[in-house]
Amino acid sequence: GAGVSQSPRYKVAKRGQDVALRCDPISGHVSLFWYQQALGQGPEFLTYFQNEAQLDKSGLPSDRFFAERPEGSVSTLKIQRTQQEDSAVYLCASSLGGGASYNEQFFGPGTRLTVL
Amino acid sequence: GNSVTQMEGPVTLSEEAFLTINCTYTATGYPSLFWYVQYPGEGLQLLLKATKADDKGSNKGFEATYRKETTSFHLEKGSVQVSDSAVYFCALSERNTGFQKLVFGTGTRLLVSP
């Protein structure tokens, strides 16, 4: 496809379960971002990859959150022992270039996670 | 840290009315500024951007001017349509070592009635 895709689109988990959220960026895009969007709020940065390297994970809220991008393409955000406060929409974005210069970020539709 | 503040919604207008959504920011340095739009059931889309002071971004009849002296980037449209109903996010780019991340406001929902 031409855009960023994410799966699943919706995920319901019981408290304490582990979940894995997938992001397929636009082919050839070097940079990949994860954001968390709580209900009624704007997206907040979680982590950034340049190819397979995770250059910044300062936004991950706890050590229960883990992200990887082992081959520099598809990325997975994993949340262990989910809590109710993890309920949010998780957005993935990719951009063509890397580095400190501005590169437009293209967003996927998001995965809505609900923790019961 | 850097932050973005935008007016609370919802903003409710009739078709063809004039739109203003206020956005102000706090930042060190000279960030780029953006407006993103989120239509129901869709992902965030870049609406317009401005990369330096006094730049005007424009797209689809929307425009916003980067005002460094007032640290503002207000979104305007002269005549809204029902199809403009969406959530609008103001954002800035925060430069980190080796990459730029986006810092968003809380979003403003626009509802346009026929």
DSSP state string for A1-35: --S-EEE-SEEEE-TT--EEEEEEPPTT--EEEEE
Given CB atoms, is A108 within the 8 Å cutoff of chain B?
Answer: yes
CA atoms of B93 and B79, how far apart (whole Å): 29
Flag whether residue B40 sits within 8 Å of chain A, measured between CB atoms.
Answer: no
CB of B29 within 8 Å of a chain A CB? The answer is no
Q: What is the DSSP letter of B67?
A: B
Which of A48, A108, A110 lies nearest to residue B101, judging by beta carbons? A48
**Record: contact B43-A108, CB cut-off 8 A:** yes
Comparing CB atoms, the residue among A4, A91, A102 nearest residue B100 is A102
Q: Tell me the pLDDT band of B55, cut-offs 50, 70 and 90.
A: very high
pLDDT digits (tens, 9 = 90+) for B33-53: 999 999 988 889 999 999 989
A82 vs A31, A65, A92, CA distance in Å? 27, 9, 19
- pLDDT reading at A1 higher than 60: no
Q: Is B97's pLDDT higher than 80?
A: no
Per the CB < 8 A criterion, the answer to whether A35 and A21 are in contact is no
In tens, the pLDDT along B80-90 reads 999 999 999 99
Mean pLDDT along residues B7-29: 94
Please report residues of B whose CB lies closer than 8 A to that of A43: 44, 89, 102, 104
User: Do B99 and A56 make contact, defined as CB atoms within 8 angstroms?
Assistant: yes
Task: Give the mean model confidence (pLDDT) for residues B2-22.
Answer: 95
Confidence of residue A53 (pLDDT cuts 50, 70, 90): very high
Structure token pair of residue B73: 């980037």
Over residues A56-67, the pLDDT tens digits come to 999 999 999 999
